[in-house]
């Protein structure tokens, strides 16, 4: 598949296959699906790497991946990882996206879940948030609209 990408992009990518590494103590293989837990141990699998971007196979970039890579420059010594919001519903077996999911009763309509998520987003203390997302005007509104669109299209 990579052979179809432009050469100037292929030259910037190093693709290597490696073994999935799990700690010897703990039973992570039994607690999680393999594809869901392998990312937890990337630092052990790739100890010489200073920065890693883990992407699922269903990720589509709307802008250059280099922009994502540049986000590492904004990390300080206290920051270990960065996350982006998921704009789709998780599989029904996953327990939580926000704390709101923990309280969600599957018998209740999705609109109630959306309201619960909106409440969770409003409770974020953006003064403590050092990410650049907190500098976006109405970030909670943007996330809510994306989630609402996703939830309502799945009903």
**Which residue has better confidence, 85 or 45?**
45
The model's pTM is 0.44
Taking only the tens place, the pLDDT of each residue in 101-149 is 555 555 555 666 666 666 665 655 555 554 545 455 565 666 666 666 5
- From the list 94, 147, 82, the residue with the least C-alpha distance to 120 is 147
3-state secondary structure 6-61: CHHHHCCCCCCCCCCCCCCCCCHHHHCCHHHHHHHHHHHHCCCCCCCCCCCCCCCC
Task: Please state, in angstroms and rounded to a whole number, the distance separating the CA atoms of residues 124 and 122.
Answer: 6
The domain limits of the chain are 1-76, 83-155
Q: Tokens in use for 124?
A: 């974020």
Task: Please state, in angstroms and rounded to a whole number, the distance separating the CA atoms of residues 103 and 93.
Answer: 15
Query: Which of 36-40, 51-55, 99-103, 148-152 is the most confident on average?
Result: 51-55
Taking only the tens place, the pLDDT of each residue in 49-87 is 888 887 776 677 777 778 888 888 888 877 777 766 666
In this prediction, residue 81 carries a pLDDT of 73
DSSP character for 132? G
Average pLDDT over residues 16-45: 69
In this prediction, residue 95 carries a pLDDT of 43
């Amino acid at each position: 598949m990579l052979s179809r990408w432009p050469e100037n992009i292929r030259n910037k990518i190093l693709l290597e296959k490696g073994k999935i590494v799990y700690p010897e103590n703990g039973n992570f293989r039994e607690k999680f699906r393999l594809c869901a837990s392998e990312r937890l141990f990337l630092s052990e699998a790739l100890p010489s790497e200073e920065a890693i971007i883990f992407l699922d196979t269903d990720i589509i970039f709307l802008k250059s991946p280099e922009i994502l890579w540049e986000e590492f420059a904004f990390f300080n010594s206290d920051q270990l990882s960065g996350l982006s919001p998921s704009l789709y519903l998780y599989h029904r077996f996953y327990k939580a996206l926000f704390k709101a999911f923990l309280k969600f009763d599957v018998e209740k309509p999705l609109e109630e879940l959306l309201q619960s998520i909106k409440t969770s987003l409003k409770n974020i203390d953006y003064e403590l948030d050092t990410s650049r997302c907190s500098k976006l005007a109405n970030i909670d509104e943007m996330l809510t609209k994306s989630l609402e669109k996703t939830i309502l299209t799945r009903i």
